[in-house]
Structure 1
Amino acid sequence: MTHPNPFASNILKIYKKHSYIVCDSSRDMITVNFNETDSTYRLHKIDNSICCYKKILRAGVADKADHSYKLGPCVKIQQDFLVPTDVTAMIAYCHRPPHDYAVQKNVFSFVHPRKDSDKSPKSAHEKRPSVLLWGIDSVSRMTIELTMPKMYEYLKTSNWFELQGYNKMGDNTFPNLMAVLTGFNKTFANAQCRPDKVGGLDACPLIWKDYQARGYTTAFAEDWSPFSTFDYSSMGFLHPPTDAYGRPLILAAEKELKVTHQSQLPYCLGRKPAAEYIYDLGVQFTRVNRNRTFFGMFWTNTFSHNDFTVTSAMDAKMVEYMRTLEKKGVMDNTIIIFFSDHGSRFGPLRILDSGFVEERLPFIYFHVPLWIQDKYPKLLRNLRVNKNRLTSPYDIHATLKHILELDTPPEKLPHPDACPSCQSVFLEMNWSRNCSQAGIEKHWCACDSSFELPTKDPRAKVMSTQLVDAINKFVSSKKGTKRCRRLRLNRIISVQQRSNSNHYLVQVKAQPRNAIFEATVDWDPSAQTISIRVPSVSRLDTYFGMSGCSSVKETKKFCIC
């Protein structure tokens, strides 16, 4: 597995560092004060501002359950107003006399303690860690070093453990996160969890259900609502999946506040970046539940998905979040997994020679509390050894299961359904492990060596032509794709033989719109034909906005209207 230099001249040529983006520099007219003792919130008004708030509520039913919200009536805010425990999100409207129109709008989230009895273990023997998944979409282990140098330095010097051989198992966010959260591959996840059916995801055995069953308080939040993991061309959840759920908050913020776009993403929602609504909710959740065990997942897309350079804008802020978790004592009893789902899948960084590995190696780091390191030294030794071993999202699922059973012998621990040979990263991985053993399809495997085939070789032409034909056949076989144009081969970019096998990595440019595709094909030399799983074909150029005429999610990267 090669490790490209993130500071290579061709990368630096397309990299532009961003400073922190200030969405609104005006003074806050209202602030939230949190009481650590009783976990209550009070709203404090500045100067002579007059404010009221509207409660944000989940409002949809059936197929709109995860896609609709409503606002309550505007309730006047007295100075140091105590936020009711039934308010988990609100929009506050403030103005100053003599004006009677709102000059400032703010969206706030609130996490309140659970009303049931605390089920957290009381004795030292029963002590269990909390778990926090803190994610950024589309960031490789090379890119985080380049774009977030402050965070990278923090991770190197603050008792974090990196897995440098962490290899994605599927194309985009959904299969990779489902492997982490369920241990399923994409085909089984779609069949078992039925994301296109109302209530399908509610019945899905997502990992936070295992933690709920052990008395953990749970949370899930994600920004960019139209394209979020469980809602992009899906029904989402019929009922809130976790105790704290951030979707109504982000739906309202995107609709009710001024949206400022960056790289075609809703970067600013009102007065702060969209991602910060998610991470602020994460900080609130951990602080309120600091005295009981919790499982929380907080995932963002809006400063990383479309443009790898924008990630740099959140560098210092990300360190600030981690320092806050430190200062508030959250890290004392919390295993934190700071990670991504994949690297850049399209755009200028992906088209470079290093792009193949860039896409396949997302970053992942673990923070492990000192008491676990002291109590389970062998598990920590294994985690250190695994730094340079091949791992996959299925292994992370096995790890999340293992955390609930730290005293269980390795041979009795469960294995992911889609990868029986995968295991917890707290157990030593075999140094000779291959992608098949890690549940990674050959197209996504970053381990293989390759040998360049001349583009004028007759085999290259046949493979490339058949690849484009296979894509056309796949798209035309789906209902709802009639307006997608037929692709034609324009140029063979490269053909590489993977290891000493009949697997070839083919990269072509097709018309219209200079679309760039990359696929691993199986070549039958006697029949002079290829076999290929078309859904796993990669689209390397930016195709945002080209496929609106297709209603089929899996054809979006192939359809050019």
Structure 2
Amino acid sequence: MRRRLRNLVSPATLIPIWSVFFLLFFIDLYFLKLKPILANMTVLSVGNLFETPGCSFPLYNPYHWTIAYHWATVNATYSTYEDMCSARNRTVISQEGGKFTLDPKGLLLAYNATVQSTKCHYSVVSRNETAEIPDKEPILGPARELLFGEPIDAEYVQVSCEASGKLLFTEYFLVPQPKQPPQHADELQLEEPPSSRKMSVLILGIDSTSRINFNRLMKNTHKYIVDELGAFEFLGLNKVGDSSFPNQLPLLSGVSGPDTESLFKRHNFDTFPLLWNTFRLEGYTTLFLEEMPYYGLFTFPNYLGFNLPPTDYYPEAVLRMMDEKGGSDRFCVGSRLKTKVLIRYLAEVLKLNSDRSMFSYVWLSDVTHNNLRGGQDIDQPVEEFFRELSDTGVLENTTVLFLSDHGNRIGPYRRSEIGRHEDKTPFCFLILPKRFMREYPEAVVQLEVNQRRLITPYDLHATLLSLLKLPAIDPQPTNKGINLFGAVPPGRTCADAFIAPEFCACTDTASETPDPGVLLSFSRYAVSYINALATLHFPGKCVQWNLDGVDEASALGGRVAGKVLLRVQLTVTPTAHFEVYGTLRSESFGDKHVDFVQRLDIYSNTTTCLPNNSWQKMCMCKPELLNTTSTSQTPDTLDDNE
């Protein structure tokens, strides 16, 4: 039998067989690098969410089968932060305003101690005003005995309890305290009846939450604020930068992230024209609270923060001290979910100041940052928060801007078509007092129309500034923003709105699939560019990336001024994923330029040898360096705070 087979398969027969084999091998090797060809033939949108001459947003099924795998994976392993916190030793101290109560049964059950044997002390948590960067240096005051049932005059405290010489627990509390109004503001506001008092403003942000994901996970909140509070939902909010800093700074100041960085890289932000400074000059009491101070807008990665407290209520020090433990502990205050504690504190401060004008900027991040399912953990507490503000009359004179800065930016889900769109389209609602709706019907009509227009954080900044001019409605624009109480042109494009191409969510009707050879050449150039940046910023520390495949690609906007804008999504080895935007000269495609690079993986566990800065995403530490930790690393480093 073997002899018969040998006779059948002669050397002459093998030549064409081997030729075909090698041809198929090289074709497969070539197209293995070019996986986008089929992907570009499939568009997952089922129409347009809205359509204007200048911009159309695609409409996606939020439960499309192409992303079902990601949600199934998350669901299979997801445990709520609430469950994680409640599994810890029970919090046995309750707080009502400035008074504290000790729970005898809880104390006995959790710590096997009695009230009689337990002694508790509190220490004031404050900023170290003599430190080089006071925002990064929380300090504790001297310990004082905590007398249960008696009010304390401290604002942010650490409470420690011990029994029989043994420390039982240490917890933190935020105590709402009345503030002295700005000079001359108290007399002005006391002379005014409540109906003519300047409108309070609350900006409540939830980090990393797209419009689609908000509607998936926070359905109760969505239903309440739209159906009961008459919220305007802006479907066309488009981010203007990559991460939190370049999206929140335009909202707070009307200045772009890069311009802010160039101005304040070596200076503190005390003189920066932030919204709370503008409102304070008009007699407002102010509050600034960000849940993740280690990655704060004004200190991460190496900004200098504020020399003096920027607002009247400023719990930065106590929040930073809470987070010093790092790990999963940072989500909890004792057995309480920290986010719920902060929402409760915010509600109490707003009620305490309901008789005066107040500007508040609050950004909640813990449960949604890098967590697709985090929104479900805070749906109920956020809905209850809005209900309480409505029931207690706070919303009768308060405008609420409720929004996010961007969608999920990191992880496998972001590599999908829908995930890319979600990254660029955060949720946004505007809630106005009912009396405003009655008194300014023309502004209400404009808001209704603008719900389906392309808008940006610059526009939201301009809109909030105009509230200071009431009772006049002045729809004048700012340098980059359009007041949403006026008309937003239907022909507005991303370029008109100061949105760079890499962040534009508008459907690109002129997109095309690039020539495979050009595509592969640009992709190799992009990988070389990433390697060069990694070497420049971290010499000797990073692995060398090699192109493994092109997962998706498109040419955006056709050919403009002799150039083609290209987007490629790459897989490299060692395994990582990048999205790269760049330009090619259309004459020869030989002149290549990279405009923007985004890392799509969670990478903090592979960059422990590096200092904190925005270039980490270009690097993976060499294996022999992974066990070393830079002295500037902060606890529980996260990936998308650049």
Question: TM-score under structure 2 normalisation?
Answer: 0.78
SS at match of 2:584: strand
1:64 Cα deviation (Å)?
3.2
Match in the other structure for 2:63: 7
Matched, 1:472 2:531: yes
Match in the other structure for 1:103: 168
Post-superposition Cα deviations, 1:428-462, rounded to whole Å, max 9, x if no partner, equal 21112111111111110011326776687111112
1:247 Cα deviation (Å)?
0.7
SS at match of 1:384: helix
Match in the other structure for 2:373: 309
* Structure 1 gap ranges (5+): 35-40
Matched, 1:516 2:577: yes
CA distance in 1, matches of 2:233, 2:593: 34
- What is the aligned-residue identity percentage? 26
Match in the other structure for 1:205: 273
After TM superposition, the structure 1 stretch with the greater mean CA deviation from structure 2, 285-294 or 274-283, is 274-283
Q: Structure 1's 391 and 454: CA in aligned 2 closer, same or farther, altered over 3 A?
A: closer
Asked if 1 retains the 8 angstrom alpha-carbon contact of 2:91 and 2:335, the reply is no
CA distance in 2, matches of 1:387, 1:481: 48
Which one has a bigger Cα radius of gyration?
A: 2
Which has the larger share of helix? 2
Q: Which one-letter code corresponds to 2:295 in the other structure?
A: F
Matched, 1:270 2:337: no
SS at match of 1:402: helix
Match in the other structure for 2:53: none
Post-superposition Cα deviations, 1:89-126, rounded to whole Å, max 9, x if no partner, equal 01122346xx3434243311123222246243714785
Asked if 2 retains the 8 angstrom alpha-carbon contact of 1:141 and 1:364, the reply is yes
After TM superposition, the structure 1 stretch with the greater mean CA deviation from structure 2, 395-404 or 550-559, is 550-559
CA distance in 2, matches of 1:191, 1:71: 34
Decide which of 430, 441, 445 is 2:489's aligned counterpart.
430
CA distance in 1, matches of 2:590, 2:381: 52
SS at match of 1:381: helix
1:366 Cα deviation (Å)?
1.0
SS at match of 1:423: coil
Asked if 1 retains the 8 angstrom alpha-carbon contact of 2:450 and 2:487, the reply is yes
* Structure 2 gap ranges (5+): 1-56, 105-114, 622-642
Q: Structure 1's 178 and 288: CA in aligned 2 closer, same or farther, altered over 3 A?
A: same
Match in the other structure for 2:520: 461
After TM superposition, the structure 1 stretch with the greater mean CA deviation from structure 2, 328-337 or 360-369, is 328-337
Alignment of 1:132-151 (within 5 A): 132-151=202-221
Alignment of 1:377-392 (within 5 A): 377-392=441-456
SS at match of 1:460: helix
Decide which of 503, 510, 520 is 1:444's aligned counterpart.
503
Q: Structure 1's 7 and 18: CA in aligned 2 closer, same or farther, altered over 3 A?
A: farther
Match in the other structure for 1:176: 247
1:20 Cα deviation (Å)?
6.2
CA distance in 2, matches of 1:107, 1:552: 28
Q: Structure 1's 42 and 345: CA in aligned 2 closer, same or farther, altered over 3 A?
A: same
CA distance in 2, matches of 1:409, 1:287: 28
Match in the other structure for 1:114: 179
Asked if 2 retains the 8 angstrom alpha-carbon contact of 1:136 and 1:304, the reply is yes
Asked if 2 retains the 8 angstrom alpha-carbon contact of 1:453 and 1:494, the reply is no
Asked if 2 retains the 8 angstrom alpha-carbon contact of 1:18 and 1:312, the reply is no
SS at match of 1:499: strand
After TM superposition, the structure 1 stretch with the greater mean CA deviation from structure 2, 14-23 or 199-208, is 14-23
CA distance in 1, matches of 2:553, 2:441: 47
Matched, 1:94 2:155: no
CA distance in 1, matches of 2:304, 2:124: 24
1:487 Cα deviation (Å)?
2.3
Matched, 1:548 2:608: yes
Q: Which one-letter code corresponds to 1:139 in the other structure?
A: T
1:359 Cα deviation (Å)?
0.5
CA distance in 2, matches of 1:224, 1:424: 30
- Runs of 4+ with >4 A deviation: 17-20, 25-28, 123-126, 450-456, 530-534
Post-superposition Cα deviations, 1:70-103, rounded to whole Å, max 9, x if no partner, equal 212221122311111xx1101122346xx34342
Decide which of 95, 104, 120 is 1:51's aligned counterpart.
120
1:332 Cα deviation (Å)?
1.1
Q: Structure 1's 144 and 170: CA in aligned 2 closer, same or farther, altered over 3 A?
A: same
1:230 Cα deviation (Å)?
1.8
SS at match of 1:401: helix
SS at match of 1:175: helix
Q: Structure 1's 186 and 306: CA in aligned 2 closer, same or farther, altered over 3 A?
A: same
Q: Structure 1's 353 and 43: CA in aligned 2 closer, same or farther, altered over 3 A?
A: same
1:217 Cα deviation (Å)?
0.6
CA distance in 1, matches of 2:502, 2:103: 57
Asked if 2 retains the 8 angstrom alpha-carbon contact of 1:259 and 1:268, the reply is no
Match in the other structure for 1:24: 86
Matched, 1:525 2:596: no
- Count of residues paired in the alignment: 535
Match in the other structure for 1:38: none
Alignment of 1:327-338 (within 5 A): 327-338=391-402
Q: Structure 1's 409 and 161: CA in aligned 2 closer, same or farther, altered over 3 A?
A: closer
CA distance in 1, matches of 2:103, 2:465: 47
Asked if 1 retains the 8 angstrom alpha-carbon contact of 2:243 and 2:406, the reply is yes
CA distance in 1, matches of 2:362, 2:540: 38
CA distance in 1, matches of 2:67, 2:220: 19
Matched, 1:359 2:420: no
Q: Structure 1's 188 and 456: CA in aligned 2 closer, same or farther, altered over 3 A?
A: closer
Q: Structure 1's 529 and 283: CA in aligned 2 closer, same or farther, altered over 3 A?
A: farther
CA distance in 2, matches of 1:428, 1:212: 28
Q: Structure 1's 533 and 222: CA in aligned 2 closer, same or farther, altered over 3 A?
A: farther
Q: Which one-letter code corresponds to 2:242 in the other structure?
A: D
Match in the other structure for 1:557: 617
CA distance in 1, matches of 2:350, 2:362: 11
Q: Which one-letter code corresponds to 1:504 in the other structure?
A: L
1:511 Cα deviation (Å)?
2.1
Q: Which one-letter code corresponds to 2:367 in the other structure?
A: F
Match in the other structure for 1:369: 433
CA distance in 2, matches of 1:305, 1:527: 43
Asked if 2 retains the 8 angstrom alpha-carbon contact of 1:519 and 1:537, the reply is yes
Asked if 1 retains the 8 angstrom alpha-carbon contact of 2:567 and 2:580, the reply is yes
Q: Structure 1's 532 and 276: CA in aligned 2 closer, same or farther, altered over 3 A?
A: farther
Matched, 1:224 2:281: no
CA distance in 1, matches of 2:514, 2:501: 22
Decide which of 67, 70, 83 is 2:139's aligned counterpart.
70
1:481 Cα deviation (Å)?
4.8
After TM superposition, the structure 1 stretch with the greater mean CA deviation from structure 2, 294-303 or 150-159, is 150-159
CA distance in 1, matches of 2:68, 2:601: 19
Q: Which one-letter code corresponds to 1:215 in the other structure?
A: G
Match in the other structure for 2:282: 214
Matched, 1:492 2:550: yes
CA distance in 2, matches of 1:149, 1:323: 15
Q: Structure 1's 506 and 53: CA in aligned 2 closer, same or farther, altered over 3 A?
A: same
